[in-house]
């Protein structure tokens, strides 16, 4: 049996999302054929092109929008070649802003000399070229498809959607020019590969519209259609609306290897055994067959067939640490399955991909790295999903050095005492350039309440050791956790300010606490002095749940101030400003944290 595995529009444009490569490698190791495609990069490549933008301009009446579209069409191919590293000679003209048309995003630019100076011509050009492509995408959204975005295609239709109504209406609406192009690309892959079934990996809500639009076309052609991935695992475990199955036949949960293998064996007549962790229209409301407990793949991801030469190395921020997510074609791999801690009260610790921790040997991890380097020609790795286990990480670094490999990697960690000067130095020598991890609330009381398992002092010590080893640090931060006071939030920002001022973190991101039905705080809110407002599941998406905050301050204003302050800190600005600068509408207490 042959699968066609697809990443639907749109995830990111700098590197392939790894799900289809992982599944392809596994299915091939079990005797099934599998082809793969990234419709996101293909769609963006066709839309951000001279022919397509010229055609769009021709549909517009004479005026500023048409003129701008024509200017975009004239320069977009050069911008893409530059972002692919194919034509660096364009850098000076892009950097001095004499080449690319500019719209509102450029109007809001502050002075960039502080970030790039006079020597960072290529970095500055990459930043401006990225802004240009984002503005071209804005034009497409305004003139051709209201759902289009470079990384979040139709995201608003799927994010926190209790019912299927709005998304279904969009899916049944007449096709847009973007939809038609997506169908054209899909049909070409089906005609070329002639699969027996088509699977869609949906890691984020910004991929769901594209997956279901394509799913309807696949079903129209009489092929079984499968949908799975991170979004499905977190949002559809309590799905009860049968209308979703007008756009797909099977929905798989948790790791996709065993469900796809059992489905392939069933469709090809190899076995009559029941499907595992798979939902169909007929099985709605019934318990899922769990399959093999602890089942995971021992195969090597296979990136063959993906258009690796089309990906764009973008720079949507000047901050060097933050840029790693979008700049460079990183090979995305998992070092281990699940989280070795898996106790944080805000995290979806009841879900298999976090709860079940399984680690391969260090030799196996490095074997996979070497195999992927041979496939892709790239020696950069981003270890994705849960936190890297310190012991395994140390063994992997030693194995990299033992084999005398030259590579670069980064990934997510927990700021704990295991990160000694010796381990940080070992990581740097093996090729680690950056880590990201959750400082979360920067309050020892709240860290204990949420069972984070680290302290502020531990985090600061770990960050200093990373800095001394030359490893950049990004930290995730949270506000609005149950019982959090305004004083604790201000203290947290002061900790962040001091860490930026000392140079032990390079970038940070705040998000507002969200109670989910898969987390300890959502399952037992009373343990956190919180009250859930919604107890019955929605017919469509079920992850974030409503709860009753008990804050005596304006949480929206606090969130706005935290984000503005941290954006300035990342640019090296405002570090000597009093914290009340960022909250003009609130009475902010003085920080009590040293």
Residue carrying the six token digits 């050009």: 125
Q: What is the pLDDT of residue 114?
A: 55
| Order of strands across the sheet that contains 197-201 | 33-38, 2-7, 197-201, 225-228, 250-252, 278-279
Measured CA to CA, the distance from residue 512 to residue 77 in angstroms comes to: 39
Q: How many CA atoms lie within 13 A of 396 on its CB side?
A: 29
Task: Please give the average pLDDT of every successive group of 10 residues along the chain, which has 594 residues.
Answer: 95 93 95 96 97 96 94 96 93 91 82 60 91 95 93 88 96 96 98 97 95 97 97 95 97 94 90 90 92 76 95 85 88 94 95 92 96 96 92 98 97 95 98 95 93 94 97 96 94 95 95 96 96 92 92 93 94 92 90 77
For residue 396, the tally of other CB atoms under 10 A from its CB is: 27
Q: What is the pLDDT of residue 153?
A: 87
Q: The pTM is what?
A: 0.94
The answer to whether the beta carbons of residues 438 and 487 sit under 8 Å apart is: no
Burial of 87 (C-beta count, 10 Å sphere; 0-12/13-18/19+)? middle
Q: What is the pLDDT of residue 442?
A: 85
Q: What is the pLDDT of residue 184?
A: 97
Structure token pair of residue 20: 């289809």
Please spell the DSSP secondary structure of 178-243, one letter per residue: HHHHHHHHHHHHHHHH--SEEEEE--SGGGHHHHHHHHHHHHHTT--EEEESHHHHHHSTT---GG
Contacts of 7 (CB under 8 A, 6+ apart): 16, 17, 19, 20, 36, 37, 38, 39, 40, 200, 201, 207
Residue carrying the six token digits 């002061």: 494
Q: What is the pLDDT of residues 263-287, one digit of tens each?
A: 999 998 887 789 999 999 999 989 9
For residue 475, the tally of other CB atoms under 10 A from its CB is: 26
Q: What is the pLDDT of residue 318?
A: 73
Measured CA to CA, the distance from residue 363 to residue 62 in angstroms comes to: 63
Termini Cα distance of the chain: 63
Q: What is the pLDDT of residue 134?
A: 94
Q: What is the pLDDT of residues 210-220, one digit of tens each?
A: 999 999 999 99
The answer to whether the beta carbons of residues 102 and 139 sit under 8 Å apart is: no
Measured CA to CA, the distance from residue 507 to residue 319 in angstroms comes to: 7
Measured CA to CA, the distance from residue 561 to residue 584 in angstroms comes to: 8
Residue carrying the six token digits 């149950």: 482
Task: List domains and CATH numbers for the chain.
Answer: 2-42+170-279 (3.40.50.2300), 46-143 (no CATH), 322-582 (3.20.20.70)
Q: What is the pLDDT of residue 375?
A: 95
Could you tell me how far CA 35 lies from the centroid of its own chain?
23
Q: What is the pLDDT of residue 592?
A: 86
For residue 108, the tally of other CB atoms under 10 A from its CB is: 7
- Count of positions (residues) in the chain: 594
The dihedrals phi and psi of 213, each to the nearest 5 degrees, come to -60, -45
The answer to whether the beta carbons of residues 336 and 392 sit under 8 Å apart is: yes
Measured CA to CA, the distance from residue 455 to residue 453 in angstroms comes to: 7
The answer to whether the beta carbons of residues 501 and 470 sit under 8 Å apart is: no
């Amino acid at each position: 049996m042959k699968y066609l595995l697809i990443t639907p529009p749109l995830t990111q444009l700098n590197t392939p999302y790894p799900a289809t490569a992982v599944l392809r490698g596994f299915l091939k190791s079990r005797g099934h054929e599998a082809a793969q495609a990234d419709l996101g990069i293909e769609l963006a490549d066709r839309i951000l092109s001279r022919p397509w933008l010229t055609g769009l301009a021709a549909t517009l009446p004479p005026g500023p929008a048409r003129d701008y579209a024509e200017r975009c069409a004239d320069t977009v191919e050069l911008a893409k070649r530059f972002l692919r590293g194919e034509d660096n000679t364009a850098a000076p003209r892009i950097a001095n802003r004499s080449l690319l048309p500019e719209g509102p995003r450029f109007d809001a630019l502050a002075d960039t000399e502080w970030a790039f100076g006079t020597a960072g011509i290529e970095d500055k050009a990459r930043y401006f070229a990225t802004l240009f492509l984002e503005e071209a995408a804005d034009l497409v959204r305004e003139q051709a498809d209201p759902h289009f975005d470079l990384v979040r295609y139709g995201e608003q239709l799927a994010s926190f959607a209790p019912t299927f109504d709005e998304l279904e209406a969009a899916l049944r609406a007449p096709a847009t020019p973007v939809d038609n192009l997506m169908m054209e690309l899909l049909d070409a892959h089906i005609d070329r590969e002639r699969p027996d079934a088509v699977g869609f990996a949906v890691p984020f809500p910004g991929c769901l519209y594209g997956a279901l639009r394509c799913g309807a076309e696949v079903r129209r052609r009489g092929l079984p259609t499968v949908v799975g991935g991170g979004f499905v695992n977190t949002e559809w475990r309590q799905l009860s609306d049968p209308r979703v199955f007008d756009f797909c036949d099977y929905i798989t949960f948790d790791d996709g290897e065993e469900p796809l293998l059992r489905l392939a064996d069933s469709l090809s007549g190899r076995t009559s055994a029941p499907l595992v962790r798979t939902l169909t229209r007929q099985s709605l409301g019934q318990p899922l067959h769990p399959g093999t407990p602890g089942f995971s793949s021992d195969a090597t991801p296979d990136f063959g067939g993906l258009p690796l030469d089309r990906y764009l190395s973008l720079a949507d921020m000047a901050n060097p640490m933050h840029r790693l997510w979008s700049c460079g074609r990183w090979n995305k791999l998992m070092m281990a399955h699940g989280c070795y801690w898996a106790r944080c009260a805000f995290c979806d610790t009841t879900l298999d991909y976090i709860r079940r921790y399984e680690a391969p040997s260090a030799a196996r991890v490095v074997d996979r790295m070497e195999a992927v380097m041979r496939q892709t020609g790239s020696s950069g790795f981003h270890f994705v999903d849960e936190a890297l286990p310190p012991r395994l990480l140390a063994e992997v670094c030693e194995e990299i050095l033992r084999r005398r490999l030259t590579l670069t990697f980064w990934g997510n960690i927990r700021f704990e005492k295991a990160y000694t000067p010796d381990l940080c130095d070992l990581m740097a020598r093996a090729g680690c350039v950056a880590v990201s991890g959750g400082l979360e609330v920067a309050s020892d009381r709240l860290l204990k309440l949420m069972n984070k398992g680290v302290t502020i002092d531990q985090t600061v010590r770990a960050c200093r050791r990373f800095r001394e080893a030359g490893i950049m640090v990004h930290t995730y931060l949270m506000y609005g956790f149950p019982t959090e006071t305004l004083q604790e939030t201000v203290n947290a920002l002061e900790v962040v300010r001091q860490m930026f001022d000392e140079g032990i973190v390079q970038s940070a991101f705040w998000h507002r606490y969200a109670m989910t039905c898969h987390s300890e705080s959502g399952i037992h809110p009373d343990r956190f002095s919180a009250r859930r407002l919604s107890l019955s599941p929605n017919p469509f998406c079920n992850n974030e749940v409503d709860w009753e905050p008990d804050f005596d301050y304006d949480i929206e204003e606090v969130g706005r101030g935290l984000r503005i302050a941290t954006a300035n800190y990342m640019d090296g600005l405002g570090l000597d400003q009093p914290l009340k600068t960022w909250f003009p509408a609130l009475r902010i207490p003085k920080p009590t944290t040293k």
